[in-house]
Structure 1
Amino acid sequence: MDKKRAMTSVDLAALVGELREYTGAVVDKAYLYGDDFVRLKMRDYDRGRIELVIETGDPKRAHVAVPEYVPDAPGRPPNFAMMLRNRIAGANFEGVEQYGFDRILTFRFEREDATTLIVAELFGDGNVAVMNEDREVIDCLDTVRLTSRTVAPGSQYDYPDERFSPLDCDYEAFAAKMAQSDTDLVRTLATQLNFGGLYAEELCTRAGVEKTVDIAEATEAHYEALFGALERLREPILEGRTEPRLYEDDERVVDATPLPLEEHEAAGYVATAFESFNGAIDEYFHRLETESDEPKATGDDGPDFQSEIEKYERIIEQQEGAIEAYDEQADEEQQKAESLYGNYDLVDEICSTIRGARDEGVPWDEIEATFETGAEQGIEAAEAVVSIAAAEGTVTIDLGEGHIELDPFVGVEKNADRLYTEAKRVREKKEGAQAAIEDTRENLADVKRRREEWENEDGDEEPDDDGEAFETDYTAMASVPVRYDEKWFERFRWFRTSDGFLVLGGRNADQNEELVKKYMDPSDRFFHAQAHGAPVTILKATEPDEPARDVDIPDRSKREAAQFAVSYSSVWKDGKFEGDVYEVGADQVSKTPESGEYIEKGSFVIRGDREYYRDVAVGVAVGITCEPDTRVVGGPPSAIEPITETSIRLEPGQYAQNDIAKRLYRTFRERFEDTSFVRKIASADRIQEFCPPGGSRMIDE
């Protein structure tokens, strides 16, 4: 079975109820990693720190994560994160809703000055849209413009057409939907009923029907069996009575489900019980990200036994918590049953009173009012009544040890039997969890044994015959160490030439002025494209912290500076592939115009002879370096490609600056095994800083 890469509609239906338990939490900060991972850091008086994560790329998920699984905050918050902070910092989390049976969640945040809705689309290409209470889009991760719907800043948010929901349909709607198909039972459940392949097969297995029966040959008995299986599957999900499982194959995760699945058990997957589905799905996606196709190693120290040990210890802790919760729940249900028998006459009087009143046609609200009056008069039976639920036909009582819900039409014995049965069911769940924890303890012992055997082996490795050092393949590493120290000049455009010289370029008129006035030394070289709106480009002869001195700058570095100057000019924006560039000395650049003339901000007067570079080809490569530090770099391909672990060349094209940055980010994530590393150092916003203004495309597209 392929590992699950996205949460299903069933998953989200089971998760929504658990996420609502965090209602009232206060938002501290919002973060964006890359262009598809949103993290909301919240706090709650009782629970403490809460980390809500939404990922819309690969994988697609939304859940609360344990703090240990949350990546470190990125160095500079991108614009989307800053917008979120401005909107919801200090706001209360007021709940979440699933849109029909779609993979769409809408989170609601309330603050005195504004209501903010965050919609997570966990289907297709994925998206996160931030809206006001009127559903006007404030911002979104991706702009969507289709004939059927639009998601763009300033537009009215449009949900997709709602799909058929098998979680709230009756038998007639179910049978009618099935009959519309022209394929077999399992494919109809997967597509027409929107269950997907796994749950479609699960329903067939639970119903005891052959999956490949053609719809044209299906009988009412088939439909009734399948609908019965559907009801048994959906009831615990809708009522919040989940029994979450994490499934593994050869100690690698394959799925996390809100209920035990017979399909997974038949496949021989190892199941681990969890107290909550949120906990199971959090563990699943953490393991999915950290597990690689080969055994993990930490540098030269061999297999990472410690990570495996910590994993099993963490699972055991969760299983022990689940067992403790099962104990408490079972004891509570049994105590309620015993309390009914211990107050038999009192409970029987309450039930008999309600039955008699209903037989006489007395409305539920009048019955409730009668009990309230009796309680005021001190009647013991009436005082025990907490509330009446007319829609369900039940009464809730309190006999001094907590609330008990009764069906007044079945008598004391059957109500008590129901509670005893529930206590028995919970204890059976506890027995299953105890068996699971024993399996986990065996796995833990096995890892410790393997670690001991490995440590006792002779770990000396023979040196390489030719004495050459091996290059590290960072793209294949499961965990790439981050080594990043932000430099002051990174707010400008910049790159280092093939010979190591620093080149700086202005992003706007203010930076053009600043570069010339503050950072251009007498020995530096000034480059400018022969085009309107071109940035100032300075080739530094010495490092910024070194005293200026005459240096012989190689022609290769000068030509790279010239290519840099033309690539980030209006030549690229106009879709041209070459342009002219001139070079002058620092002493030829002046802000003083000729008498009677005026120069604009960011412009300069050039005096004396200029050295021209004719028909310079535009060209930019953007890449990621891993040694000696980890960062995004960009500039002329001849200077960038040799120093990067991986890089992508750009040329003028059809994609806007922010769109090409997102494409580059996604491509880099595909190239690195450690996708979290790419998130940390190469967000789309940071990549965009190295993309030329105007449209671009990747050359190898």
Structure 2
Amino acid sequence: MRNLTSLDIHKLLEEIAYINNGFIRNIKSSKNELYFLIYRGKEYWLKIVPGNYFCITDEKPVDTIDFGFTTILKNALKGKKADISMHNSDRILEIKTDKNTLVIEMFSKGNVILLNNGIVERALFQRSFESRVIESGKEYIYPLGGKPDFPKMYENFSEILLFSNKENLVKTLAIDFAIGGNYAEEVCFRAEVDKTKKSSELNKEEIEKLKETFKEILAETQPNIINEETFSVIRLKHLEGERKYFDSINEAVKEFFEKEDEIKNGYNPIKIEVNKAKEKVGEYQKQIDYINDNYEDINKAIAVIKNSSRSIAERQEILKNLGFESKGKNLVVYAIPNLEIDITNDLRYTLSTLYNKAKRLKKVDVDKIKTNVIKVRRLKVITGNEWYSKFRFFSTSLNKLCIIGKDVNQNESLIQKHAEKGDIVGHADVFGSPFGVIKTGNAETKEVELEEMATMIASYSSAWRAGATNLDVYFVNPEQVTKTPPSGESLKKGAFYIEGKRKYIKNSSLGIYLSFDIREDSVKISVTPYQPDKPFIFLRPGNKKRDEITRKINRALSQKYGFEVNADYIDRLIPQGKSTIEKIRLL
């Protein structure tokens, strides 16, 4: 079974540190998997497969089973603020709350142990070894031979190396430095030191080269998969083969380990698509059979709807007794799911339409499905390296740079460091609004540009989460924005006091366009308040969760162009709260 090395775990934990200090809202389990719903500004599902891997997953777990052990974990951890860390450089995760520590052993067959002040409260598996016993009521003893954390190993690199009694250098690096075989081979390769040498045979220059190379791989992050069979968090120069690179370690882990789970569990994407087509054919056939068998009753129901001499309530009561319901211009059939008959069309036309849909699906092109499934690839997202790239930004339709803060820290920085004389500062008339700055370059700013900036500020305010469609936004000069409130008042971080007259843009509509500038092996995604001349997807406040919107966007891209992008990146562009996709134009 494939599993994460200590170095993989170390780097992945650094990457997902944004979930630390979050609240555990729920815990679910499925087969050998544990899922932790962690809230820190937004919800994240942390998936852990003991003895194997862990990652942040976009999907809410399905087919979960609450075992007795899961219930115990919920009682101990649910609602608690938690941090996830690694025990030294061991392949052991620790989820710590104010009272408990949950130990997840990521080696061998894996285990999950709930501790209270170092004492085992409950273990998923009670086990006995020569050097330790995992049993309720006993002290939890970490495996013998544990190593210090990676920074300490770097500090004491020479001592650890020279005191090793392993038969060769590559084994010393793999075991005594806890980095595993592939990374040990890579250190030897980059340092140009013979891996078959014993540690005691190394000279001072070789030791120094090895130490600096060890530091180099600790600092490097370049997640990739080689030949679909080797996962690495750095570029393994000593290995040849086709490489697939990822924007994050988390995405690479999901691709590599979850694909193995799918293969192991008999997942076949082509078969799934074919089965979907067959199921749809069956659904259409049931609808066709129902209409043929109930042709007269359906026509009677349509006549009832069109009979304006009766009240709506009377017509609905008659329809209900017949097994129907009126919904706009459609006749809803209770007995058959998803069957809505357009009463403005002849019933024979409805039958003909269903026949044609079923006929097309019966001729399902397996080769085409196979091509579509296989060709979907992950494109790298192009990100800027300008000083304002860390903020939200766009250019107006007249080409002025507009910058918007993402949080209170960025609001503070944007106003105090980057708002210059002649610029225009914007803010929505609602608590929870970002500040925005139009960089005018001392040129006149047109009304349309203020309207565009107002739309963006309103869209990234708390109004989106509230489901609002319009919001007032005002604009002032930078000199009117101060950190000095009137006497007796105070300001929180990221807040400012506005002096003097404000220019309002009333009823600014909420909505953003995500546009896609597609290159050969990369894509640039921009956000604008106006319709771009590139392929785009238009979002407005709605009733769909962020992860569902993200999946729909990637599905649309994969179906049209055969690629997806990092879901985390799309998620960062979407305003907080629920949304709806109002328009898609992919050329």
Structure with bigger gyration radius: 1
Q: Give the alignment's TM-score, normalised by structure 2.
A: 0.47
Could you state the TM-score of these two structures normalised by the residue count of structure 1?
0.40
